[in-house]
Chains A and B, each alone.
Chain A
Amino acid sequence: MKLLALEGVSFNYGSQLPTVLQEVNLAIGTGQCHCVSGPTGSGKSSLLNLLAGVLNRPHEGDIWRYPQLVTGLVMQDPQTQLLRQTVGAEVAFALENLGIPAEKMLPKVQLALRRVGLYLRLDTQVSTLSLGQKYRLMIAAQLVCEPHLLLLDEPWAQLDDHGVSELLVVLRNLIQDGMALVLVEHNAAAFAEIIQHYWQLEVGKLSEGIYTVNDAPQVEAPAWRNQPKFEHLGKVLVSAEAFDFGFDACPMLFACPQGFQLQAGEIVTLVGDNGSGKTSLLKTIAGVLSSRQRLPLKVLGRRPKLGIYGAELGLLMQRPSRQLFETSVLAEMQFSLRRFELPKERAAQMLDELDLFSLAQLSPHKLSYGQQHLIALASLACLRPKVLLLDDPLAGMDKHYYGKVWYLLKRLSSQGCAILLSSHRSIEHSAVSRQLSLRNGLLVEELIETGERYVG
């Protein structure tokens, strides 16, 4: 049965702005699973909002909906969709809006939570859940209304491998129950077993097939590749002896029985599931997170403390778009250079090198997610830090910007920068020297496989 159809739909966010969707045709029926892929900023999320009926802007073309169609939309970041503080209240929110009597809510809420495999007390605080659990909670918050069509925005980027496999089980069951599913996903391969229809969205056009990058950037730069490489290797910039890590008055989060080191010029990955403590460890190394417990940790020969390293240490937190405040990309990149009294010209050179100079005078807030991410990273790279800590810098990146990030990291590494980057799945890339693994409450060094795998 046909649930929803778009016929020649075009749409933009303003008459002066480029068209987001152009003459889009799409039909969705019960029990079908569609996957839409495309570069960041191509309008995939706008398409989902349009399908969900929450896009309050005029559009051209026809949208036909099954008369009693109920849609459920789960956006990218579960954190920004949480409206209540407890699990039960969060799931019941939609029922409240439908005017369902309070005494009839309980079984519906319990059923929705069971369908996504969340067996939690209803008064569990949402803030205590892992990211994967929050994502499933958001799905439950939609399933409680028994939608005919479920729309998911980039679940793979948000979840670790365990979370993805759990989600796959849930989605397979929903499709078997006749629910239609539309996924927006960079990594369609992760959901290949349930996807029936592949679509690619590029320059506003929706066509059948899987999106592939045609203009992969140059990832090797001859100028610095020819430098005598690894002459700085062996110099220890970060060192930690054996320690137990935990927050004040909380149980231990993980133990590091052998300690670890970061040496100049190496790229080390820190891999662990959602909520395993990667971000906390990076923040501790940067001196951002302080606790009563004093860790046997030395960064650039000193105990970590916020602001003592100046330009020698850089930390890129998740969602780096939060740090943007200047009126142009160039000014944004020059901010730290000015503060640390370094040559301002480095910013323009960096933009040129990354083939992003056309963005120099644009407002950083108007850039796509991938562009904002890269600009924030490039701002740090301009400083030529000795230690660079990156919190999940590849999450949500399409392959185009993924290549540019690696270009930057390899460049910094060749300059002697020690890079520690966290991810919720293993990064198989030739530039990675070592992997620190954070699993089952233990931080240990693990052997890594060679070869390259996209983990954006």
Chain B
Amino acid sequence: MWASCRRLRALRHWSYERRETALCALSLLLVCVLSACAFVLPAALLLPLAGLNGLLVIHGLLRRGSIWGVLKLGLVQLSITLSLYLILYGVEHLAQGAVVVARIILATIPGWWLCITAAPERIGEVLSAFLPTKWAFVVAASLSLLPYMADEIREIYQIQCLRGARITPKALRNPKNWSELVYCVLFPVLIQLLKLSRQMAVAAQSRHFGLAQRPTHWHSSRDKND
């Protein structure tokens, strides 16, 4: 009786874990399809796609995700693209520029939603089914790193502003100063990324990364608290 109970519990437990992995795999597939659609669908079908993306945004916001980063990216993209279209093609082609930006945003939103709803290690587990373990780890670690790197970029930008770099929003209205943004912010960020990736590689190595041919995967359910 006791043994059958334990088997039943184990079965329920495993079905939960499999369900979690399967859900992540489906999410990943959905994201790939939606992002691809943003680029390949004709402009007339972008509105229904925007509707689907709207549902993802609502779900992401309900999961306490912040959409500000995507919105800011969209605004910057919109201002740069429209300015270029205005200079190169004139006012009559501005709508085309807006469609290009809309496609980029629609391709970004599913990725944002996935980052909020799926744990990076679960994405890594799904990817490890058809990618080498090391590649799957790199993808999962990169996703985990995104919030940290966003903070780093913000702080480096602020430090350089305080040091007098001509990269404040007002200064960046002048395209002459754009190179300073690359020089003062992107270079240090790249150097940080290189240092960080080396340190993370050591951290992973010190925790036996690459030892097992087929690594296993941690699943945490809500009731597993200490």
Contact = CB atoms under 8 A, between A and B. Distances in A.
Nearest to B164: A339
Contacts of B226: 110, 113-114, 119-122
A310 B158 contact: no
Contact of B119 (A89, A109, A120, A145): A89
A113 B226 CA distance: 9
Contact of B13 (A103, A317, A379): A103
Contact of B161 (A94, A142, A306): A306
Interface string B188-219: 10011001100110111111111111111111
A67 interface: no
B199 A80 contact: yes
A288 B155 CA distance: 9
Nearest to A310: B164
Contacts of A84: 119-121, 144
Interface string B169-194: 00000000000000110011001100
Interface residues of B, number: 56
A99 B225 contact: no
A95 B210 contact: no
A322 B216 contact: no
A54 B204 CA distance: 10
B50 interface: no
B224 interface: yes
A364 B81 CA distance: 37
Best-surrounded residue of B187, B192, B214, B215 (most CB of chain A within 10 A): B215
Looking at chain B's contact residues, is the secondary structure mostly helix, strand, loop, or mixed?
A: helix
A322 B188 contact: yes
Interface in A98-117: 98-103, 105-106, 109-110, 113-114
B49 interface: no
A145 B168 contact: no
Contacts of B10: 103
A105 B215 CA distance: 13
Contacts of B184: 325
Contacts of B13: 103
Contacts of B214: 99
Contact of A102 (B204, B219, B225): B219
B162 interface: yes
B58 interface: no
A95 B158 contact: no
Nearest to B183: A325
A88 B222 CA distance: 11
Contact of A323 (B159, B213, B220, B222): B159
A288 B160 CA distance: 11
A79 to B, nearest CB: 7
Contact of A97 (B17, B161, B215): B215
Contacts of A113: 226
A344 interface: no
Contacts of B207: 83, 93-94, 97, 141-142, 145
A96 interface: yes
Given A123-B225, A314-B162, A96 B218 contact: yes
Contacts of A335: 163-165
Contact of B215 (A99, A114, A322): A99
A307 interface: yes
B188 A324 contact: yes
A339 B191 CA distance: 23
Interface in B96-139: 119-121
A98 B158 contact: no
B199 A325 contact: no
Contacts of A77: 199
B65 to A, nearest CB: 13
A114 B225 CA distance: 12
Nearest to A320: B159
Interface string A73-86: 10101011111111
A86 B215 contact: no
Nearest to A96: B215
Contacts of A120: 226
Interface string A329-360: 00000011001100000000000000000000
A49 interface: yes
Best-surrounded residue of A82, A96, A324, A336 (most CB of chain B within 10 A): A96
B156 A98 contact: no
A123 B218 CA distance: 12
B141 interface: yes
Contacts of B17: 102
Given A84-B120, A99-B215, A322 B156 contact: yes
A114 B152 CA distance: 32
B119 A88 contact: no
A119 B225 CA distance: 9
Interface string A36-70: 00000000000001001010000000000000000
B183 to A, nearest CB: 6
30 contacts: A49-B202, A72-B206, A73-B202, A75-B203, A79-B148, A80-B200, A82-B144, A85-B119, A85-B121, A89-B119, A96-B218, A97-B211, A97-B215, A98-B208, A98-B211, A99-B211, A123-B220, A123-B225, A145-B208, A310-B164, A322-B192, A323-B159, A323-B160, A323-B188, A324-B191, A325-B183, A325-B187, A335-B164, A336-B163, A365-B191
The 4 nearest A-B residue pairs measured at CB: A339-B164, A99-B212, A92-B218, A81-B203
